[in-house]
Structures are given as C-alpha cells and as structure tokens.
Amino acid sequence: MSISRTAGRGKSGPALTDDGSVAVRRPVRGDGSDIEAHRYLQALEAIAEDGHLTQRSLANRLGIALGLTNLYLRRLVRKGYVKCVNVQSNRLRYLLTPKGVTEKTRLTYDFMQYSVSLYGQVRQRLQAVLAPYALDKQTRVAVYGTGEAAELAYLSIAGLGLEMVAVFDRQPSGRFLGHPVRDIADHREVAFDFLLVATLEPPAPVVDDLVQTGIARERLVTLRQ
C-alpha cells in the first residue's frame, strides 16, 4: 500500500501525497506529522457528522487552539475536501465534498493499518522489556494512563503472569480495567515494583514529569524507546 510520497511537505503543514492528500507515514516518527494527519481525519469526521459544526466546537473536539483550527479548515477547503457556505452574514457552514468523503475513507483505512502495525510493535517491545521483571519475581506493576495504550499493556501484563496493582493518571476519574484510577501524586501509597508508562507518544516528557513527582527513573518502563 502506498503511503509516503512526501515531496509536498513543508514547514506549514503535514506531508502531502502527489495528488494533494494528507500522507500518513509508519512507523511513528515523533515529529508531529502523524498527529497532524490524525487531526485532519478527526476534522473530516466531525464535519461529516455535524454540518452545523462551528470552528469553536471543532477546536474543542480536536483539543487545539481556535486559530490552529481555522488554519486546518482553510487547508481542507483549499484541497477541495470541505466546502465553506455562507448561511448568514456572520455564520459559515462546512460541508464535506465527495473528494473529502474519499479522503476521509482513505485516512480511516490508513490509520487502521497503522494501528495494527504499531500495536504489533508495542506488544513485541512489551514482551521483551517485561519478561526480565517476571523472571526476577518483580511482578507488581502499576500503569500510568487509561487509554488504548494501557489496554494493550494490560494484555501483555496478564500474559506474562504479572499483577497490575494500580492505575494512575494526572486527572483520575472512575475505574479502568477493574481498578480505581488514582492520582499519580499518591504513588507512594501503593507498593509496586515498576510503573509502566502507557503512552504511544514519545515518552520522554511524561517520564521527566513522573521523575519530578518522586518516582525513580529506573522504575519507569515505557511502551516506546
């Protein structure tokens, strides 16, 4: 499957294929291009679901600033994926074009393939880094994070006979995989052998933050190097 003809990439946006569509590259590079491509997909999905979507509501959905949302929308309009219609003197409506529907389908398929590939790589890494802990009888694992990465980590933890003793997050809420989600500030209240940092993003900033909370760096295990 062809993904990565990136001659159209510049400082102003993500990589583009020869036909002007947004390129999705694998594996994750950590340079922000995959994140931007995913935001384009999220924007197309949001517009397809709600023709009355405002820039502000889209910004909230994407978790980015209003000005950056405006930039994304202008690019989508320029590429012919989205049509901007004046419904009032001070109100715009965004509609997905047939070309936008095709692009949304392509991006969805690419991200599904990307996820399968990435998850396979992560599971292989987890097997490699967790196995020594199991052999050393360091079996009490705490997990930091509550997303898909944490679910993937849980499968490897269970498969190696390790015990997940706690789930931590910066914004604790509810339960996750049968455990109450605890504030990472309370990590000293739980006896664990190591903390698994469950993020698929480059882990260095999260690791540095956790070290600042008082967790020894050697007790932190990441899904990615």
Q: Are 154 and 108 contained in the same domain?
A: no
Indicate if the pLDDT at residue 219 is higher than 90. Answer: yes
Q: Does 4 fall in a domain?
A: yes
Indicate if the pLDDT at residue 208 is higher than 90. Answer: yes
Query: pLDDT per residue over 87-123, tens digit each?
Result: 666 678 888 899 999 998 988 888 788 777 777 777 7
Q: Are 31 and 70 contained in the same domain?
A: yes
Q: What percent of the chain has pLDDT over 70?
A: 82
Q: Are 109 and 204 contained in the same domain?
A: no
Q: Are 12 and 115 contained in the same domain?
A: yes
For residue 174, give its domain range. Answer: 137-222
Q: Does 131 fall in a domain?
A: no
Q: Does 132 fall in a domain?
A: no
Region for residue 95 given its phi and psi (left: phi exceeds 0; alpha: psi -120 to 50; beta: otherwise)? beta
Q: Are 177 and 114 contained in the same domain?
A: no
Structure tokens at 157: 């933890």
Q: Are 14 and 109 contained in the same domain?
A: yes
Query: pLDDT per residue over 158-202, tens digit each?
Result: 888 889 999 999 888 889 888 999 999 999 999 999 999 998 788
Q: Are 208 and 170 contained in the same domain?
A: yes
Structure tokens at 73: 């929308």
Number of domains within the chain:
2
Indicate if the pLDDT at residue 70 is higher than 80. Answer: yes
d(CA 100, CA 97): 5
d(CA 34, CA 203): 15
Q: Does 128 fall in a domain?
A: no
- Report the CATH number at residue 93: 1.10.10.10
d(CA 208, CA 203): 9
- CA distances to 69, 78, 132, 184, 222 from 84, rounded to whole Å, are 14, 10, 56, 44, 43
